[in-house]
Structure 1
């Protein structure tokens, strides 16, 4: 089972930017089939793509999903296709909402923060939290995954805060980048969630973390958006 090879931000070139490492299909909350996704990705010239469906511990369809992706990918030998999962943090220790079987079957695992566990089996209501509380909780959940979870990528860092309050605190981004670099995992440049992508890229230039590129594509017209945005910024032109 092959895994994507990630590089430091400073090493991004035309080939390593020409990828899409967060895609969802009609298996979960995406709007297109895996076959349609690959057809469009091929037309847009992507060299590599990762299907990263949302999973939970009780997900029972993943083996069938893997078989489908392996089969349809043979129709596109021009592209490297990975199959993986996006799974959320369940506590500040890095526990993930994913089964051992899905972990073993995945080429790539994205660890993300989606909801804030309340410690009693439920979730906190975002509406009851201040911006400062939201940022602090998301940071602590993220750091737990970075330090302890079996993930390849920290997906859409600061995403829950950014969807509700705007730009995520720079100090938290800085600490997360440094921690992912120390652990040897990637932090995602995600064009869907980043409120200030330019500033995030400035931090990447400064800290030079290992990075993954993802558009969080749920629709066909979203494929390769992150690649294209980076190219517009002059990244990966060599």
Structure 2
């Protein structure tokens, strides 16, 4: 076996919300480094994760269809992870929806190299090869388009996690319709993929967690950490709110 492959586990195991215990919450499955827009190196992230007692970590860099560096990134993560046997380390990517049919901005080569794939909405396509201007859209328009893109990924895309659900609406309007959150949770559960609890985007985490309690979807815990001080933030917030204390 190639020594670079030893540390990589096939995929994270996701649990339904009501089954979350301390071990299931003690993870951070969305982390970025200097390979893209993060501010810390792979090694610095691993060292900080160890210091904060995290049990599992996923490096999920932003990718596009023409990304050519992913193999080198994966090699660096797996090489560095050999010195952190107390951490379960995954290599993954964060890729955006390109249309409501679930097409992703990622190559098959990158998908094949991932332990975890996060599908997200970052931009809203205009149907002509460009992007809509968020400033020209109402809350309702933004939420509707984001919902359609998200459902397209859930139903058709090769993703493991629906990342920062409702994120564009939350960032620009501070809210996202509860009925859309509920429908997305039910759709992810039907397909047996996870919906992300993301402490960076959720404006009202208690309300989102109450909906998780109702629907009981498979969930992924992610801080969307771009700086070392953000690592493990979602775990800490969940524990504050009483999730995972059992």
SS class of match (2:197):
strand
Structure 1 ranges of 4+ moved more than 2 A = none
Aligned residue among 174, 189, 202 for 2:210: 202
What is aligned with 2:90? 82
1:167 shift after superposition: 1.5
1:166 shift after superposition: 1.0
For residues 1-238 of structure 1, the aligned pairs below 5 Å read 1-238=9-246
Give me the whole-angstrom Cα distance separating, in 2, the residues matched to 1:216 and 1:79: 18
Give CA-to-partner distance per residue, 1:73-114, whole Å, 9 cap, x none. Answer: 001000000000000000000000000000000000000000
1:119 shift after superposition: 1.1
Give CA-to-partner distance per residue, 1:120-157, whole Å, 9 cap, x none. Answer: 11111101111100000000000000000000000000
Give CA-to-partner distance per residue, 1:145-192, whole Å, 9 cap, x none. Answer: 000000000000000000010121100000000000001000000000
Give me the whole-angstrom Cα distance separating, in 1, the residues matched to 2:129 and 2:111: 22
1:223 shift after superposition: 0.2
SS class of match (1:51):
strand
Give me the whole-angstrom Cα distance separating, in 2, the residues matched to 1:140 and 1:80: 34
Show structure 2 runs of 5+ residues with no match: 1-8
1:2 shift after superposition: 1.3
* Count of paired positions: 238
Give CA-to-partner distance per residue, 1:34-68, whole Å, 9 cap, x none. Answer: 00000000000000000000000000000000000
TM value normalised by structure 2:
0.96
What is the aligned-residue RMSD (CA, Å)?
Answer: 0.5
SS class of match (2:57):
strand
TM value normalised by structure 1:
0.99
SS class of match (2:53):
coil
Give me the whole-angstrom Cα distance separating, in 1, the residues matched to 2:45 and 2:171: 26
SS class of match (1:189):
strand
